[in-house]
Structure 1
Amino acid sequence: MKSALFTGAAVTLGLFLASIGPAQASPTDPPSTAAQQPTAQARQHGIAKDGDAYMGWLQNTTTSSAPAVMAPAATVEGIDVSSHQGNVNWAAQWTAGKRFAYVKATEGTSYRNPYFAQQYNGSYNVGMIRGAYHFATPNTSSGATQANYFASNGGGWSRDGKTLPGALDIEYNPYGATCYGLSQSAMVSWVRDFLNTYKARTTRDAVIYTNLDWWTRCTGNSTAFNATNPLWVARYASAPGTLPGGWPFHTFWQYSSTPIDQNRFNGDQTRLVALANG
């Protein structure tokens, strides 16, 4: 998401976020850890500092690039955004046919997207079904700690038909070792810790955003979650391709980053509403 163009109860959350505006540090925030420094490669992709990571930041150099094909009838188009997009023109995105959006809420345990309120509430207000995502940094704290931080800072859920379950963005590390210094078994344990904690907080199984290459390298292509957690696969090509982790099908597919991250739901609008309702 590098283009510059652009729960508790959902109502309560929306009012709260709108009231605080851009996220600022507060006395209740956990203390910041030492800032991680982006790698040279990450800097080339617009990640200038700790917290700047976004979904699919390395995808266009690790998967084949091809124009998106026309969507079959039983799909719904959407986008995902982060602070890189700033204030989004949601009316324009609706006119362009987008019907759902995922918004970066948090990263690690010390970053909150300063544009979260405008992006999360704005997408909802134009009629989109929206959700929040967390960029994982498994080397900085436990899965449970990060799941709690996410759930408390925008990643909540309510059965209002317009709020999707939170998503765990688990992918290439923009600050160092690809697998964050964890073994494959340790990574699987970290992911399980996050997912179990998130479900305890929200009652929902979080969506897992990843790609075949990273998941294979860093979890050993674990099949531990394919029966419980919806898959959001990243592959910039004309088809989702081979799915990671033995998932029998994908729920979301991120297929392009032009001119903003493009996503497709694997089903019609009624199924998207059903996912939102749990």
Structure 2
Amino acid sequence: MQLSFAFLTLLGLVVASPTVEKRAQPAGIDVSNFQPTINWATVKANGISFAYIKATEGTTYTSPSFSSQYTGSYNQNITRGAYHFAHPNSSSGATQANYFLAHGGGWSADGRTLPGALDIEYNPSGATCYGLSQAAMVSWIKDFSNTYQAKTTRFPVIYTTTDWWTQCTGNSAAFASTNPLWLARYASSVGTLPAGWSYETFWQHSDNASPNPGDADIFNGDAAGLARMAKGS
């Protein structure tokens, strides 16, 4: 993702990767153009069950690696989904959702494609909350989410941190009943969740998935549950 090492250090989020005790929980990775060449057969052999792959950012960027990563993971029977890095200060939520959908962010009920994810987090190049009020941020996310759902029948997964969500949405509980939570927290546990969510669907627990590329994630469930999520059942 886009969380800088310096900023994570400031928040006390950079720690040693946790030892995951629930080994039955499917392991995943998330990648972007920072990992342009990936041997997906090796990733599969290493036990990775799912991957989220960056497709777009704002309305001006599409990852040049997305197509090969999205197809390569699928060809190795890795359940995969696309994600969009939001810039709420540059255009509406609906505009960015449509851009995401037009550049690989869709969903199909093939049992191997996860719903698209909205990466909404710290601004990498300006004000933390992109200059939006908490109410305006909630409205922007609803605009993105509702547009995506109208086009795909699925609400997007929301990737965030509890700290950012609290600061920039006022810890809104408006999405907990519709949008799966993908929580980023580099610690030994997920810690406090944003308001409304009683559990996380995905947990990004480390920015180092070695020996695999990208960041390390866990699905909160079993393989059958991951398949059900992909299928939309």
TM-score, structure 2 as length reference: 0.94
Deviation at 1:110, TM superposition (A): 1.0
Q: Which residue of 1 aligns with 2:54?
A: 104
- Correspondence for 1:184 among 134, 147, 169: 134
Q: Which residue of 2 aligns with 1:262?
A: 216
Given that 1:74 and 1:266 are in contact with CA atoms closer than 8 Å, whether structure 2 keeps it comes out as no
Given that 2:28 and 2:219 are in contact with CA atoms closer than 8 Å, whether structure 1 keeps it comes out as yes
Distance 1:55 1:207, change over 3 A: farther
Given that 1:68 and 1:255 are in contact with CA atoms closer than 8 Å, whether structure 2 keeps it comes out as yes
- Separation in 1 of the partners of 2:102 and 2:152? 10
- Separation in 1 of the partners of 2:14 and 2:199? 20
Deviation at 1:55, TM superposition (A): 4.3
Mapping of 1:147-226 within 5 angstroms?
A: 147-226=97-176
Letter aligned with residue 60 of structure 1: L
Structure 2: tracts of 5 or more residues without a match: none
SS at match of 2:195: helix
The structure with the larger Rg is 1
Question: CA deviation digits over 1:30-56, x for unaligned, max 9?
Answer: xxxxxxxxxxxxxxxxxxxxxxxx344
Letter aligned with residue 213 of structure 1: D
SS at match of 1:270: helix
Deviation at 1:70, TM superposition (A): 2.4
Is 2:233 the counterpart of 1:233? Answer: no
- Separation in 1 of the partners of 2:3 and 2:216? 11
Q: Which residue of 1 aligns with 2:43?
A: 93
- Separation in 2 of the partners of 1:55 and 1:274? 29
TM-score, structure 1 as length reference: 0.79
Letter aligned with residue 199 of structure 1: Q
- Separation in 1 of the partners of 2:3 and 2:221? 22
- Separation in 2 of the partners of 1:57 and 1:245? 25
- Separation in 2 of the partners of 1:64 and 1:204? 33
Given that 2:3 and 2:124 are in contact with CA atoms closer than 8 Å, whether structure 1 keeps it comes out as no
SS at match of 1:191: helix
Question: CA deviation digits over 1:2-41, x for unaligned, max 9?
Answer: xxxxxxxxxxxxxxxxxxxxxxxxxxxxxxxxxxxxxxxx
Given that 1:88 and 1:118 are in contact with CA atoms closer than 8 Å, whether structure 2 keeps it comes out as no
Letter aligned with residue 82 of structure 1: S
Is 2:83 the counterpart of 1:133? Answer: yes
- Separation in 1 of the partners of 2:80 and 2:137? 28
Given that 2:25 and 2:218 are in contact with CA atoms closer than 8 Å, whether structure 1 keeps it comes out as yes
Deviation at 1:229, TM superposition (A): 0.4
Given that 1:56 and 1:234 are in contact with CA atoms closer than 8 Å, whether structure 2 keeps it comes out as no
- Separation in 2 of the partners of 1:269 and 1:237? 24
Deviation at 1:64, TM superposition (A): 4.7
Segment drifting more, 111-120 vs 66-75: 66-75
Structure 1: tracts of 5 or more residues without a match: 1-53
- Separation in 2 of the partners of 1:128 and 1:192? 30
- Separation in 1 of the partners of 2:95 and 2:20? 41
Letter aligned with residue 148 of structure 1: N
Letter aligned with residue 264 of structure 1: I
> Paired residues, what number?
225
